[in-house]
């Protein structure tokens, strides 16, 4: 466990059927180790990541005591549990509690005592089911905070409730020590009230991709990642679960031996029970999980299973290269590929996709298709004869045929995503497929002209690759230097490359590849930079807002640090103390021009 | 507190005057949360950072149970306490213990049961004083580990004992769960025995510079930094304690109001009591602490004190720039300077240096002299008249005169260090002064030709700046891109630039500036990269050893992670599992060439 975070509150959930009162009963008020907010001169307005579509505010400050805040929800049971989970993980944990609390709660008089949550949509979800998050799910919400009505959240759908809580968690500030040290108890505050936020995102798909094949991350870390994503209003975790290096996905009914042989160790497997837990945790945060089985390339781990060894070309075994000339990236032979001439290849795909279908309720499954090294096919001396029999003209057509066949093995109702870059522009897809484009932003227009009837998720390598620029496997320069700074990430605007109204763009995603990553460094490399993408894609297209962005990035980073997720600052202490002193008219034009 | 690390052992220190038996009595054997070493195929030889001068080893494995290991020392009392501290912090903490232990220790039969430590130098230190670490202190040692004599450390001086323990802590491996899961209890092991290490460093000064002005770091963090430095055999912490941004050094007898007004907050001050604690902790690790008061530049914080406001040129107040054209770096007006025409300037220096002298026993004091913005002197309309009276021809001469006067205010017996780069080549020094060169490596030869009778500590910006390449204050490129990778750091070899036998080179230092740093990211940005410098400067000059270096960097990083200091990996999981698979003959020549 990287960090111990204990909720300070216990909940008495009184199920009153569609009107549930969450009494936040406090058993500890041990704030002796409370996070010490530094004496930062806060900006004179609420700082919320992503920047809301519309916000009005004033000058009042309201106080909150977690001991006595009543959360009143008009929600079905499952959603109430979700709200409870969010408040536990994202609001209460501001207080780093004493591990051996000796005090009991002594509520102080406050003037913000209620948080009310109402679903306004016509269709109320079933009591016992979490509503799925879909591409057209409505994430809009309103949040008002004043001394008369308290904090009030209303949203047409559950996703909006979660986004509103993401905002609420960021306007609750203070150190739990009382307002400016004057009050006792464990007071927090909401400044700049009355606040009215009316909010909705610009792009529907805002994702982070995690690669758990090159490096295994604990369930605890993935859970914390989801919690932090929810605060920044990310709504997709794209789980690149397997690859050449390891196969940590537990297959139970199809091919358990692939997991057994393909995982780094038997402990470094995501059991189906754990995956259910992760998917459930994400759904309670209104976050989708999109699973991926990249094929036919990136499949070496499958060949570690004796049954499937024969279908993997360029297996590049540990004890010797079967194809010495195969090129390599970041120290790993790159890349094995499934042989489409074997029926076993489709046994495998069918098994994996069927199990993925039962594990992941999302409508999307990612089929990969990335970086197929067609020279590997030369390894099979019988392949060309087989291709002639099948009327397949060349290796490009072979890959196209393979991916078409793979798509037929998806469970019913699933939509296919594929990786796309300049090297895969020979591929053919079916109308309605989704391309996840990781190539250079300069070729984005070519992409949409080549595939005009597809949808796109944009993850351009020159703006969004978070793992890059920390050096390569040999200590040399990273292939994708320089650093993608928060500003670089924020400056990617789809409409600079494609028509502003291009509805084929579903959204964007920052990938976190793990060739040179580890559990201890993960959050440091993701946050707060990734939130700059969420910020840009949520908020309305607007003029550059460098000052505001810096304040949001700093504030978001401090929020995570206060919750025990260690992340770097993107700004100097000087600028944080002296709000906007470093920016605005003081920024040298030469620096602005070099962004 | 970032991470909770508890020692698992309690010591019964039986003072037998010059022959003390440390009985490591175990009260907990709660290894349920023991660090899980991954199933890495370890290299078939001991992996020690820095690489020892000479090592022989064989194929036996010995087991250790911390419950029953007896540490037998022939050391004065203060040194025994130091050994005890090191073992507590750097060996036992491999085991992440259960916070609520329920088991008691049940020693297992092992075959490495003793660690003996002997000082062989002619002069035995006094019982009650920690010996100072000097430039000519002998850090050599021998360490032998076999089943007959156990582990035996002998060294002429105490520093050698500490370096030997740095090695010992790295050869003790395992997960505390027993050898290959077979044994019970909490066994560790030493592989590749019998081991004989005969070791001594190549360069005498191997430092890390920490900047606590731009960002305040807790005493706990500085203590952990020292602990981790000791493992890598660093022997100097250069403490850049104050600068333009804040003055966190507690002045008690001279000018307490400078601290009061110049610190970020009253909590963000290093009290003299805390400094004594840090200095003592460092001395027990045989690490020197070299304090710095950079002047006349980088002194804005002094001007926050009303008494000294008048002596600070280019004060650049928060509420307005006194010199609008003053250039800026990383968001801060750059840089204020003390006015040499005021007697108060020397009151200040005298007070600070005298207090530093009582706090820091080291023979070196760093006077800065860095980046003096002489255009700031224009601010004082009377200065030129004063200069004429003093027979000072120009601003360069003014700075030279100032620094010469500053040196006279050092406490007796202290030697002066100054920053040096291409911009300060106009300065004049006294023979025997030390220049800390942070300019480009390309100008190193010019430096030594200009100042042939000085000594040098090398910290070239193009090899050693650890804080760089993470973007700048405005989210643009860092001024010192690209990333200084572990390989880049390792590849700096003083004798590539200066004669190999140039005894004027005292050693090297990696600076960790803090304009864009924070407590949560500090260790991630320092480790394991910094250890590549220690590795190169300790070990004998030799041919490139990329495979060995990677193994040492990975192993050192895992050592720190196991101790609760989160650091990034520099290598892929693939390469770690398949030892040296990624390297040696498999490294493409093109990649080697691009290093």
pLDDT tens string A517-551: 899 999 999 999 999 999 999 988 877 677 788 88
Residue A470: list chain B partners with CB under 8 A. Answer: 483, 485, 568
Average pLDDT over residues B359-384: 94
Nearest CB among A475, A515, A571 relative to B485 is that of A475
Among chain A residues, the shortest Cα distance to B480 is held by A482
Q: Is B588 on the interface with A (CB under 8 A)?
A: yes
3-state secondary structure A30-98: CCCCCCCCCCCCCCCCCCCCCCCCEEECCCEEEEECCCCCEEEEECCHHHHHHHHHHHHHHCHHHCCCC
Note whether B240 and B212 are within 8 A (CB). Answer: yes
Q: Is A40 on the interface with B (CB under 8 A)?
A: no
Burial of B388 (0-12, 13-18, 19+ CB in 10 A): exposed
Handedness of CA A466, B224, B212, B512 (dihedral sign): negative
CATH architecture observed for domain A205-538:
Alpha-Beta Barrel (3.20)
Largest CA distance in chain A: 84
Residue A513 has pLDDT above 90, yes or no: yes
Extents of the domains making up chain B = 9-199, 205-538
Angle at B220 between CA B217 and CA B226, to 5 degrees: 90
* Residue A43: C-alpha distances to residues A178, A398, A548, A563, B320 (Å): 20, 59, 9, 21, 18
pLDDT tens string A50-104: 999 999 999 999 988 766 678 888 888 888 888 888 877 766 544 322 223 334 4
Q: Is B317 on the interface with A (CB under 8 A)?
A: no
Q: What pLDDT, on the 0 to 100 scale, is given for residue B564?
A: 84
Residue A99: list chain B partners with CB under 8 A. Answer: 99
Separation CA B282–CA B245 (nearest Å): 26
Q: How does strand A188-193 pair with strand A60-64? A: antiparallel
Nearest CB among A328, A571, A595 relative to B476 is that of A595
Q: What is the DSSP string of B434-453?
A: EEEE-S-GGGHHHHHHHSTT
Nearest CB among B245, B318, B520 relative to A566 is that of B520
Most A CBs within 10 Å, among B520, B567, B575, B586, to test the A interface: B520
Q: What is the DSSP string of A457-481?
A: EE--HHHH-TTTTS--TTSS--TT-
pLDDT tens string B143-194: 999 999 999 999 999 999 999 999 999 998 765 555 444 444 456 788 899 9
Average pLDDT over residues B35-55: 72
Q: Which range is least confidently modeled, A309-318, B273-282, B307-316, B423-432?
A: A309-318
In this complex, do B474 and A481 lie within 8 Å of one another by their Cβ atoms? no
**How are the residues of chain B apportioned to helix, strand and coil, as percentages rounded to the nearest 5?**
35, 20, 50
Bridge partners, A26 (sequence order)? A9
Residue B42 has pLDDT above 80, yes or no: no
Secondary element (H or E) of residue B300: none
Q: Is A483 on the interface with B (CB under 8 A)?
A: yes
Q: What pLDDT, on the 0 to 100 scale, is given for residue B575?
A: 65
Which residues 369-408 of B are in CB contact (within 8 Å) with A?
none
Separation CA B465–CA B207 (nearest Å): 13
Secondary element (H or E) of residue B364: strand B364-368
Residue A570: list chain B partners with CB under 8 A. Answer: 471, 475, 516
Nearest CB among B331, B569, B577 relative to A574 is that of B331
Q: Is B328 on the interface with A (CB under 8 A)?
A: yes
Residue A264: list chain B partners with CB under 8 A. Answer: 38-39, 573, 577
3-state secondary structure B226-280: HHHHHHCCCCEEEEECCCCCCCCECCCCCCHHHHHHHCCCCCCCECHHHHHHHHH
* The pair of three-digit structure tokens given for residue B355, joined into one six-digit string: 């207090």
Closest Cα in chain B, distance from residue A348 (Å):
24
Note whether A476 and A457 are within 8 A (CB). Answer: no
* Residue B458: C-alpha distances to residues A364, B214, B420 (Å): 55, 23, 10
Residue A183 has pLDDT above 80, yes or no: no
Which residues 110-129 of B are in CB contact (within 8 Å) with A?
none
Q: Is A266 on the interface with B (CB under 8 A)?
A: no
Nearest CB among B481, B520, B546 relative to A482 is that of B481
Closest Cα in chain A, distance from residue B134 (Å):
34
pLDDT tens string A371-412: 998 988 999 999 999 999 999 999 999 999 999 999 999 999
Catalytic residues of B: 371
In this complex, do B568 and A4 lie within 8 Å of one another by their Cβ atoms? no
Closest Cα in chain A, distance from residue B513 (Å):
11
First to last CA, chain A: 39
Residue B463 has pLDDT above 90, yes or no: yes
Separation CA A285–CA A234 (nearest Å): 10
Largest CA distance in chain B: 84
Note whether A273 and A304 are within 8 A (CB). Answer: no
Note whether B517 and B470 are within 8 A (CB). Answer: no
- Burial string for B24-33 (b: 16+ CB within 10 Å, else e) reads bebebbbbee
Note whether B420 and B437 are within 8 A (CB). Answer: yes
Secondary element (H or E) of residue B390: none
Among chain B residues, the shortest Cα distance to A546 is held by B474
CA nearest to B532, candidates B499, B469, B483, B497: B483
In this complex, do A476 and B581 lie within 8 Å of one another by their Cβ atoms? no
HSE of B589, CA atoms in CB hemisphere, 13 A:
0
Q: Is A6 on the interface with B (CB under 8 A)?
A: no
Place of tokens 């590795």: B535
In this complex, do B483 and A486 lie within 8 Å of one another by their Cβ atoms? no
pLDDT tens string A498-508: 988 899 999 99
Q: Is A499 on the interface with B (CB under 8 A)?
A: no
Tell whether omega for the bond before B383 is within 30 degrees of 0, i.e. cis.
Answer: no
Among chain B residues, the shortest Cα distance to A522 is held by B568
* Residue A526: C-alpha distances to residues A263, A292, A511 (Å): 25, 20, 9
pLDDT tens string A324-337: 333 344 445 557 89
Separation CA A489–CA A460 (nearest Å): 10
Average pLDDT over residues B569-593: 55
Handedness of CA B339, B344, B350, B352 (dihedral sign): negative
In this complex, do A476 and B483 lie within 8 Å of one another by their Cβ atoms? no
Residue A37 has pLDDT above 90, yes or no: no
Burial of B118 (0-12, 13-18, 19+ CB in 10 A): middle
Residue B396 has pLDDT above 90, yes or no: yes
Separation CA B349–CA B355 (nearest Å): 10
Homologous superfamily of B9-199 in CATH? Answer: Chitobiase/beta-hexosaminidase domain 2-like (3.30.379.10)
* ipTM score for this prediction: 0.86
Radius of gyration in angstroms for the set of CA atoms belonging to chain B, rounded to a whole number = 25
Place of tokens 């007006």: B333
Closest Cα in chain B, distance from residue A345 (Å):
25
Residue B470: list chain A partners with CB under 8 A. Answer: 483, 485, 568
Q: What is the DSSP string of B411-424?
A: PTT-EEEEEE-GGG
Confidence band, pLDDT 50/70/90 cuts, at residue B548: confident
In this complex, do B265 and A38 lie within 8 Å of one another by their Cβ atoms? yes
Alpha helices in A297-452 (DSSP H): 343-359, 383-390, 395-408, 444-450
Residue B490: list chain A partners with CB under 8 A. Answer: 475
Q: Which range is least confidently modeled, A558-562, B324-328, B399-403, B568-572?
A: B324-328
Residue B572: list chain A partners with CB under 8 A. Answer: 214, 245, 330-332, 473, 515-516
What is the average pLDDT value for chain B, to the nearest integer?
Answer: 82
Note whether B191 and B47 are within 8 A (CB). Answer: no
Note whether A28 and A102 are within 8 A (CB). Answer: no
pLDDT tens string B114-154: 899 999 987 777 777 788 788 889 999 999 999 999 999 99
Q: What pLDDT, on the 0 to 100 scale, is given for residue A109?
A: 64
Nearest CB among B518, B550, B571 relative to A568 is that of B518
**Strands, E, within B27-149: which ranges?**
54-56, 60-64, 70-74, 114-119, 141-146
Note whether B232 and B50 are within 8 A (CB). Answer: yes
The percentage of residues in chain B with a pLDDT greater than 70, rounded to a whole number, is 79
Which residues 425-454 of A are in CB contact (within 8 Å) with B?
none
Q: What pLDDT, on the 0 to 100 scale, is given for residue A83?
A: 87
Q: Is A413 on the interface with B (CB under 8 A)?
A: no
Nearest CB among A473, A520, A573 relative to B575 is that of A473
CB atoms within 10 A of CB A104: 11
Alpha carbon B418 to its chain's center: 18
């Amino acid at each position: 466990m990287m960090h111990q975070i204990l909720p300070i509150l216990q909940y008495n959930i009184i199920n009153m059927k569609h009107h549930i009162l969450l009494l936040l009963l406090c058993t500890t008020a041990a704030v002796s180790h409370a996070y010490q907010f530094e004496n930062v001169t806060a900006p004179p307005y609420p700082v919320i990541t992503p920047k809301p579509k519309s916000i009005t505010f004033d000058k009042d400050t309201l106080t909150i005591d977690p001991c006595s805040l009543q959360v009143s929800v008009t929600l079905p049971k499952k959603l109430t549990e979700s709200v409870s989970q969010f408040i536990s993980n994202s609001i209460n944990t501001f207080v780093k509690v004493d591990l051996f609390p000796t005090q009991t709660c002594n509520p102080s008089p406050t003037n913000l005592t209620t948080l009310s949550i109402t679903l306004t949509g016509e269709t109320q979800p079933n009591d016992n089911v979490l509503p799925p998050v879909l591409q057209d799910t409505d994430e809009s919400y309103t949040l008002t905070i004043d001394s008369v009505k308290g904090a009030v959240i209303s949203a047409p759908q559950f996703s909006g409730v979660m986004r509103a809580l993401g905002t609420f968690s960021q306007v609750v500030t203070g150190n739990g020590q009382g307002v400016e040290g004057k009050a006792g108890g464990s007071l927090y505050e909401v400044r700049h009230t009355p606040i009215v936020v009316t909010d909705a995102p610009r792009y529907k798909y805002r994702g982070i991709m995690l690669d758990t094949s090159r490096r295994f991350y604990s369930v605890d870390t993935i859970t914390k990642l989801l919690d932090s994503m929810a605060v920044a209003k990310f709504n997709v975790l794209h789980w690149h679960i397997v690859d050449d290096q390891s196969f940590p996905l537990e297959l139970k009914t199809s091919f358990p031996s692939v997991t057994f042989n393909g995982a780094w160790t038997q402990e470094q497997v995501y059991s189906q029970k754990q995956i259910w837990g992760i998917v459930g945790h994400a759904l309670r945060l209104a976050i989708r999980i999109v699973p991926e089985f990249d094929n036919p390339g990136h499949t070496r781990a499958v060949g570690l299973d004796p049954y499937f060894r024969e279908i993997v070309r360029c297996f590049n075994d540990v004890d010797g290269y079967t194809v010495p000339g195969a090129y390599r990236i970041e120290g790993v032979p790159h890349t094995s590929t499934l042989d489409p001439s074997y029926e076993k290849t489709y046994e495998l795909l069918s098994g994996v996709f069927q199990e993925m279908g039962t594990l992941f309720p999302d409508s999307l499954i990612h089929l990969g298709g990335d970086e197929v090294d067609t020279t590997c096919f030369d390894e099979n001396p019988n392949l060309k004869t087989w291709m002639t029999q099948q009327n397949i003209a060349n290796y490009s057509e072979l890959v196209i045929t393979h991916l078409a066949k793979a798509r037929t093995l998806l469970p019913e109702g699933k939509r296919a995503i594929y990786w796309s870059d300049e090297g895969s522009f020979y591929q053919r897809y079916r109308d309605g497929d989704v391309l996840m484009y990781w190539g250079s932003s300069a070729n984005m227009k070519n992409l949409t002209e080549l595939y005009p009837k597809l949808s796109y998720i944009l993850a351009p390598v020159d703006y969004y690759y978070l793992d890059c620029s920390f050096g390569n496997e040999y200590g040399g320069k990273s292939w994708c230097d320089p650093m993608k700074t928060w500003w670089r990430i924020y400056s990617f605007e789809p409409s600079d490359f494609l028509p502003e109204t291009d509805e084929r763009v579903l959204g964007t995603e920052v990938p976190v590849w793990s060739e040179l990553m580890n559990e201890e460094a993960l959050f440091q490399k993701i946050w707060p930079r990734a939130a700059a993408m969420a910020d840009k894609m949520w908020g309305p297209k607007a003029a550059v807002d460098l000052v505001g962005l810096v304040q949001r990035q700093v504030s978001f980073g401090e929020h995570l640090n206060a919750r025990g997720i260690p992340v770097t600052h993107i700004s100097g202490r000087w600028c944080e103390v002296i709000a906007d002193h470093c920016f605005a008219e003081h920024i040298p034009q030469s620096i602005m021009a070099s962004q």
